[in-house]
């Protein structure tokens, strides 16, 4: 989960100060990589692919950090970039069936909310049972604690779409958790 | 309570940091007016949200990821050059050591985006941490059945070629350069096929080379090859190829010149027999 008590990022170094730039880039990535990986894992469902996409995001950040105008926009930039990398990955691998708004894929196995505490695997499995558009919205909501407006910005979709997808995804979640609710 | 308010409340973060939003506040008030059942629903939603958040917060990235990311950022910015020959280290350091391409990416690829690069950078980071690369040692021979299953899985998943070239000589040179096992003399009809490229895999510490051949219509054949001495239960040398169905593919296995070979395809067994004839 994002650590709201983290101190603010150190000031951006001069691009000419190679050592300081590297230290600053490291600091940014170390703050975000766990959540980025978790989000990537929720999208791909595969550890190696998730690590690959996370790494590609970090690499893009190292290349383009100076084009991000404000430090406050870094988080959104990272998630936007990661999601684009995921879309490229999906296009290359064609593992994921194109989304149809009319259905969510739900398997019959059900979990209990108590199981969610053990480790992240049960929660991740629940996310994996959803179609990608719902999964991507719900993952950002839970993993990075983003507002629906921020999610809309990252995924480049209207806020109304985010709200409706969140609502439907939560319906699915409740169905999967139904026995204990 | 309207559908829009319902959606808004479900989109509001469970730690209530969105309560300052007038629309959210109004939706909460509408829930309160709707009675205890609606309030209970809202609370149960929040409870699930908090548990999901806490649970996903427990997901741990691979231990090597942090070092790999930092190394990758340095590599792309040109402040670090990864060592050129990390074959041994990759085998020792990848998180899943069962199957991994172990050769350098071709010049025309963007290496940083490839999974093997993750292995390289992980290896480089591990090397930095431990002060030197581990020496790869072959532990024991690998059962034929295990190796066949691993190769079938690689093929089914889709191979990633380390060298893409139609030139036999280029493929032979590349495999030789990387000290990979290679069949010197192909069955005549097989040898006549067009080439697509090659790769080398490390499977439980054993190097297995792959040559991808093409039938008309871009139908791929995957010929894997390793030293028979490393395979427990390899076919008798120079015996006729055993052609059969294997997990949805057609598989031919045989031994030739101290090498064990696997040919995977989706072609009819008779065609494979003819090619190996």
* Each residue's pLDDT tens digit, B218-262: 899 999 999 888 888 889 887 889 999 998 899 999 998 889 999
Partner residue opposite B77 with nearest CB, options A33, A51, A62: A62
Q: Are B125 and B174 in the same domain?
A: no
Q: Do B56 and A123 lie within an 8 Å CB cutoff?
A: yes
pTM over 0.95: no
Taking the alpha carbons at both ends of chain B, their separation in whole angstroms is 76
Structural domain count, chain B: 2
- Reduce the DSSP state of residue A144 to 3 states and report it: coil
Domain annotation covers residue B258: yes
Do B89 and B131 meet the contact criterion of CB atoms below 8 Å apart?
no
Q: Is the dihedral of CA A10, A57, A44, A158 positive or negative?
A: positive
Q: Are B152 and B49 in the same domain?
A: no
Q: Are B109 and B160 in the same domain?
A: no
Helix locations, chain B, DSSP H? 3-11, 22-34, 36-56, 65-76, 87-93, 115-130, 144-157, 168-177, 188-191, 269-276
Q: Are B112 and B170 in the same domain?
A: no
**Longest Cα–Cα distance in chain B:** 84
Interface predicted TM-score of the whole assembly (ipTM), two decimals: 0.82
pLDDT tens-digit profile of A29-82?
Answer: 999 999 999 999 999 988 888 988 999 999 999 989 988 888 889 999 999 999
Domain annotation covers residue B14: yes
Q: How far is CA B176 from CA B170, B198, B257, in A?
A: 10, 12, 16
**All structural domains of chain A:** 18-93 (1.10.1740.10), 101-177 (1.10.10.10)
Domain annotation covers residue B83: no
Domain annotation covers residue B73: no
Q: Are B30 and B105 in the same domain?
A: yes
**CATH number of the CATH domain containing B268:** 3.40.1000
Q: Are B191 and B272 in the same domain?
A: yes
Q: Do A120 and B112 lie within an 8 Å CB cutoff?
A: no
Q: Do A173 and B52 lie within an 8 Å CB cutoff?
A: yes
At which of B139, B172, B204 does a domain end? B139
Q: Are B120 and B221 in the same domain?
A: no
Q: Are B195 and B101 in the same domain?
A: no
Closest Cα in chain A to B10: A167
pLDDT tens-digit profile of A21-37?
Answer: 989 999 999 999 999 99
Q: Are B46 and B163 in the same domain?
A: no
Closest Cα in chain A to B8: A163
Q: How far is CA B193 from CA A95, B99, B157, B208, B223, in A?
A: 30, 27, 23, 21, 12
Domain annotation covers residue B135: yes
Containing structural domain, residue B159: 142-276
Which A-chain residues 69-88 have CB contacts (< 8 A) with chain B? none
């Amino acid at each position: 989960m994002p650590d709201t008590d983290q101190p603010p990022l150190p000031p951006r170094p001069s691009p000419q100060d190679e050592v300081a730039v590297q230290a600053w880039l490291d600091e940014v990535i170390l703050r975000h990589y766990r959540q980025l990986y978790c989000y990537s894992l929720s999208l791909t469902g595969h550890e190696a692919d998730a690590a690959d996409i996370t790494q590609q995001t970090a690499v893009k950040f190292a290349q383009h950090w100076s084009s991000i105008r404000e430090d406050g926009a870094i988080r959104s930039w990272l998630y936007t970039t990661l999601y684009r990398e995921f879309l490229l990955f999906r296009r290359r691998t064609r593992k994921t069936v194109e989304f149809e708004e009319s259905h969510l894929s739900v398997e019959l196995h059900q979990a209990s909310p108590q199981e969610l505490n053990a480790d992240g695997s049960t929660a991740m499995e629940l996310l994996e049972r959803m179609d990608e558009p719902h999964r991507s919205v719900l993952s950002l909501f839970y993993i990075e604690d983003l507002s629906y407006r921020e999610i809309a910005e990252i995924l480049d979709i209207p806020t109304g779409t985010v709200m409706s997808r969140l609502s439907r995804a939560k319906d699915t979640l409740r169905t999967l958790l139904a026995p204990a609710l | 309570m309207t559908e829009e308010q319902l959606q808004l409340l479900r989109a509001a973060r469970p730690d209530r940091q969105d309560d300052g939003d007038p629309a959210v506040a109004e939706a909460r008030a509408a829930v309160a007016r709707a009675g205890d059942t609606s309030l209970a629903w809202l609370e149960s939603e929040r409870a699930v949200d908090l548990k999901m958040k806490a649970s996903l917060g427990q997901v741990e990235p691979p231990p090597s990821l942090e070092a790999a990311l930092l190394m990758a950022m340095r590599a792309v910015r040109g402040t670090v050059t990864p060592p050129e020959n990390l074959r041994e280290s990759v085998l020792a350091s990848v998180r899943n050591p069962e199957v991994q391409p172990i050769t350098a990416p071709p010049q025309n690829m963007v290496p940083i985006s490839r999974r093997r690069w993750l292995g390289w950078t992980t290896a480089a980071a591990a090397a930095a941490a431990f002060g030197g690369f581990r020496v790869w040692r072959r532990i024991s021979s690998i059962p034929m059945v295990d190796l066949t299953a691993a190769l079938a899985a690689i093929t089914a998943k889709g191979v990633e070629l380390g060298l893409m070239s139609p030139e036999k000589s280029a493929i032979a040179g590349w495999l030789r350069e990387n000290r990979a096992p290679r069949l010197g003399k192909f069955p005549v009809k097989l040898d006549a096929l067009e080439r697509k490229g090659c790769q080398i895999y490390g499977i439980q510490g054993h190097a297995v080379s792959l040559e991808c051949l093409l039938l008309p219509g871009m139908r791929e054949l995957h010929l894997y090859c390793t030293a028979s001495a490393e395979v427990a239960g390899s076919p008798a040398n120079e015996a006729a190829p055993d052609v059969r169905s294997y997990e949805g593919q057609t598989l031919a296995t045989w031994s030739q010149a101290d090498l064990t070979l696997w040919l995977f395809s989706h072609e009819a067994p008779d065609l494979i027999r003819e090619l190996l004839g």
